[in-house]
Amino acid sequence: MKLKLDSGFIKKVIYVNFPLLIIGLLLTYLFFRSYDVILGLVYGYILGLIHITIGYFSLVLSAGKNMGDFFKYLVGGMILRIFVLLVIIVFLLKFSSINIISLLISLFIFYFINLTLELNYINKKTKN
């Protein structure tokens, strides 16, 4: 499998995530009008982007490797991503006053949307 930096994938992530962020911000403002809830949504979006970025670069690094090394990079990237997310979440919850529920819900939504994009990308690239 030959992977290199793919601006198409990066654009797709932005084109899918950014409109969802805008819709989420509008709905959050209309229903809650709370700075803490809006901030939790934005942090969830940023954490989702950090997650997909680390995952994407671990895929690019694993390109051209044999299947065993590819899976080491893939699983290692997953473990690194989860660890980074947990550290940042604990830091945010300990040292900021954001709304925990909005942070976790938005992170959950962006996490699974980005995971779907990433799996589709892997599936498309491994078929070629």
Domain count, the chain: 1
Q: What integer is the mean pLDDT of 28-49? A: 92
> Is the confidence at residue 128, as pLDDT, over 80?
no
List the structure tokens of 111: 């996490």
Size of the chain in residues: 128
Other CB atoms within a 10 A radius of the CB of residue 64 amount to 12
The CA angle 59-63-66, to the nearest 5 degrees, is 115
Residues 6+ apart with CB under 8 A from 95: none
> Is the confidence at residue 127, as pLDDT, over 80?
no
Separation between Cα atoms, residue 36 and residue 38, nearest integer Å: 6
If you search the block for the tokens 């670069």, which residue do you land on?
57
Q: What integer is the mean pLDDT of 109-116? A: 94
Q: What is the pTM of this model?
A: 0.86
Q: Is 2 inside any structural domain?
A: no
Condensed to tens digits (0 to 9), the pLDDT of residues 62-100 reads 877 887 888 888 888 889 889 989 999 999 989 988 899
Other CB atoms within a 10 A radius of the CB of residue 111 amount to 18
Q: Is 73 inside any structural domain?
A: yes
Q: For all residues of the chain together, what is the average pLDDT?
A: 88
Q: Is 11 inside any structural domain?
A: yes
Q: Is 1 inside any structural domain?
A: no
Domain that holds residue 105: 7-127
Q: What integer is the mean pLDDT of 24-51? A: 92
